[in-house]
Amino acid sequence: TSEKMSPYENYIEAAPLNFFLTKVFGIPNHYNSSLAVGIKDILSASMGNLISSAQFNYMFDIPWLVQQYPEQFRSKPLLIIHGSQRADKTTLHENAHRYPNITLCQAKLDIMYGTHHSKMMFLLYDNGMRVVIHTANIIHNDWYQKTQGVWISPLFPKLASDQDLSQGDSVTQFRKDLLEYLGAYGTNKHLQEWQETIRQHDMSSAKVFIIGSVPGRHTGASKMKWGHLKLRKVLQEHGPDGSTVKDWPVIGQFSSVGSLGSGPENWLSSEWLESLSTVQANGIVKLSKPKLNLIFPCVENVRRSLEGYPAGASLPYSIKNARKQQYFNTFLHQWRAFSRGRSRASPHIKTYTRISPDAQYLAWFIVTSANLSKAAWGAYEKNNSQLFIRSYEIGVLFVPSKVEENLKLFNVQGVDSSKDSMLFPLPWDVPLTSYTQTDRPWLWDIAYTDKPDSQGNMWCPS
Ligand SMILES: O=C(O)c1ccc([N+](=O)[O-])cc1C(=O)O
């Protein structure tokens, strides 16, 4: 059905935080209205009269992508930033070749197993520009029946030519951090043109922090610029008050899991959880570490999903990693999003947050491309003197004090709120739903043949 394209302003009214989920085909339309967007909505003329755009991602179906732009924008300059190498790179070039307006830029990936995971759009209009940071690949399936997250910036106006270019940044240093992230790609003419374009725009209305990762062994002043240490730095300065949140759980939700080490103390419950538990460093003593709750689909969540077992092709958790880290299962909760009509829309979104035990308040919230892995968030090396990151990632962090001047904390979606607090649209249900005794985390490389999925099929990976 061709949903009525409501102009961006309507979206903003309903989503003052600019945080959307992608539209899902096959759920009641009510759940695809104001807080949901499709890729055609993002690229539509109601968002602005497009001059050129850039698409950062991991997976691209280029002919499909071109079709998602309105007809009148399909020949505008389009820069594609990817991490493909060897045969994948050749295929990408073959698919892009017939579009003279498309330029390809390969992000350098010198570190083994690193991926260009970041998912971001730059949209330059005749009256300003927007930045979109999201979690979906540029392929049909990622925008069809999955739960994905999208942050769409306000329209950033162009600075007047006589205005001092040092103007135009936000209280969260959004533009500075975005330029620093782009700088890590090295010298590419087209990316450098986009950096200049960004410098010419006023991004003072951006109310989120950028949490990015770039491949490297980051030391000294760079150590706190990326991954979980960037989050630690931002929370030290702008995070919740330690006494308020001391027993609030940390929640991580993701669509893939790396090799986390033989026990929680290797990384998960030590350096990673320490960063996510960081509170404003106003000299108080170190607090006990909060409970960690993780959300990752169990086999039944995948089997019953709209896509059925094939949803699991986008949940690449391997038996090789799983068998080495059985302790990981003790943290797990099911994917459940009844409040958003998306319990059967398999998650490809990645979100991390800290909320009160009664699920009334939220201390901070991240939507990001980063899965639960050392490759994405980084791991200490050399006695904590450096942070080793393998992949490019990017996400946005919402902190109440930067969004609602008069509010210390957001209220959590679906809870009857005192009138003065803003509801944060959580993508999944609280309270969390534990795994049953027989539930197992989804593993993508083993067979499931005892029960057919929602499409009547079994799962027999080769
Ligand atoms: O969709 C992606 O961009 C992606 C690519 C690779 C892996 N991986 O190798 O685990 C995970 C994801 C994910 O986002 O889940």
Q: Read out DSSP for 173-216? A: -HHHHHHHHHHTT---HHHHHHHHHHHTB--TT--SEEEEE-SE
Which ligand 1 atom is at minimum distance from the Cα of 255? 15
Q: What's the 306 CA to ligand 1 centre distance in angstroms?
A: 20
Q: Is any ligand 1 atom within 6 A of the Cβ of residue 255?
A: yes
Would you say residue 443 has pLDDT above 90? yes
On whether the CB atoms of residues 376 and 224 are closer than 8 A, the answer is no
- Count the neighbouring beta carbons within 10 Å of the beta carbon of residue 221: 7
Q: Is any ligand 1 atom within 6 A of the Cβ of residue 116?
A: no
Alpha helices in 310-408 (DSSP H): 319-322, 374-377, 400-403
Q: What's the mean pLDDT in 41-63?
A: 97
In the numeric block, which tokens belong to residue 97? 């070749």
Would you say residue 287 has pLDDT above 80? no
Q: What's the 369 CA to ligand 1 centre distance in angstroms?
A: 8
Percent of the chain whose predicted confidence (pLDDT) is above 70: 93
Q: What's the 123 CA to ligand 1 centre distance in angstroms?
A: 24
Positive or negative: CA dihedral 98, 102, 103, 109: negative
Catalytic choice (82, 134, 333, 348):
348
pLDDT attached to residue 402? 86
pLDDT attached to residue 9? 47
Would you say residue 285 has pLDDT above 70? no
pLDDT attached to residue 2? 36
Bigger pLDDT: 316 vs 167: 316
pLDDT digits (tens, 9 = 90+) for 263-281: 999 999 999 999 999 999 7
pLDDT attached to residue 6? 39
Would you say residue 282 has pLDDT above 80? no
pLDDT attached to residue 163? 80
pLDDT attached to residue 417? 58
Catalytic choice (117, 201, 228, 333):
117
**Tokens 């709209």 — which residue?**
306
Percent of the chain whose predicted confidence (pLDDT) is above 90: 84
pLDDT attached to residue 207? 94
Would you say residue 74 has pLDDT above 80? yes
Bigger pLDDT: 412 vs 358: 358
pLDDT attached to residue 199? 96
Q: d(Cα 7, Cα 45) in Å, to the nearest integer?
A: 9
Tell me the Ramachandran region of residue 366: left when phi exceeds 0, alpha when psi lies from -120 to 50, beta otherwise. beta
Q: Is any ligand 1 atom within 6 A of the Cβ of residue 115?
A: yes
Pocket test for ligand 1, best of 113, 115, 296 (most atoms within 8 A of CB): 115
Would you say residue 416 has pLDDT above 80? no
In degrees to the nearest 10, what's the CA dihedral of 178, 181, 186, 187?
0
| Residue 398, helix vs strand vs coil | strand
Q: Is any ligand 1 atom within 6 A of the Cβ of residue 58?
A: yes
Pocket test for ligand 1, best of 113, 371, 392 (most atoms within 8 A of CB): 371
Closest CA to 177 of 116, 109, 234: 234
Q: Is any ligand 1 atom within 6 A of the Cβ of residue 253?
A: no
Q: d(Cα 139, Cα 38) in Å, to the nearest integer?
A: 12
Closest CA to 216 of 225, 207, 205, 208: 225
Q: d(Cα 380, Cα 374) in Å, to the nearest integer?
A: 9
pLDDT attached to residue 407? 52
pLDDT attached to residue 351? 98
Q: d(Cα 341, Cα 23) in Å, to the nearest integer?
A: 11
Q: What's the mean pLDDT in 229-236?
A: 97
pLDDT digits (tens, 9 = 90+) for 242-268: 988 988 999 999 999 999 999 999 999
Burial (CB count within 10 angstroms: exposed 0-12, middle 13-18, buried 19+), residue 460: exposed
Whether residue 117 lies in the annotated active site: yes
Would you say residue 7 has pLDDT above 60? no
B/e letters for 16-54, b = 16+ CB within 10 Å, e = fewer, are ebbbbbbbbeebeeebbeebbbbbbbbbbeebbebebbb
Closest CA to 18 of 238, 159, 170, 138: 170
Q: How far is CA 309 from the centre of its chain?
A: 23
Longest dimension (CA), the chain: 69
Would you say residue 11 has pLDDT above 80? no
Share the mean pLDDT of the chain.
93
pLDDT attached to residue 283? 59
- Count the neighbouring beta carbons within 10 Å of the beta carbon of residue 321: 17
Would you say residue 79 has pLDDT above 80? yes
Dihedral pair phi/psi, residue 100, rounded to 5°: -65, -20
Q: What's the mean pLDDT in 325-343?
A: 98
Would you say residue 76 has pLDDT above 60? yes
Would you say residue 405 has pLDDT above 80? no
Neighbouring-strand partners of residue 347: 147
Q: d(Cα 339, Cα 374) in Å, to the nearest integer?
A: 31
**Tokens 């050749």 — which residue?**
90
Q: Is any ligand 1 atom within 6 A of the Cβ of residue 57?
A: no
Q: What's the mean pLDDT in 413-424?
A: 70
Whether residue 333 lies in the annotated active site: no
Neighbouring-strand partners of residue 22: 37
Q: What's the mean pLDDT in 230-236?
A: 97
Q: Is any ligand 1 atom within 6 A of the Cβ of residue 68?
A: no
Which ligand 1 atom is at minimum distance from the Cα of 254? 15
Bigger pLDDT: 13 vs 234: 234
Q: What's the mean pLDDT in 295-313?
A: 98
Which ligand 1 atom is at minimum distance from the Cα of 135? 14
Q: d(Cα 302, Cα 455) in Å, to the nearest integer?
A: 11
Q: Is any ligand 1 atom within 6 A of the Cβ of residue 52?
A: no
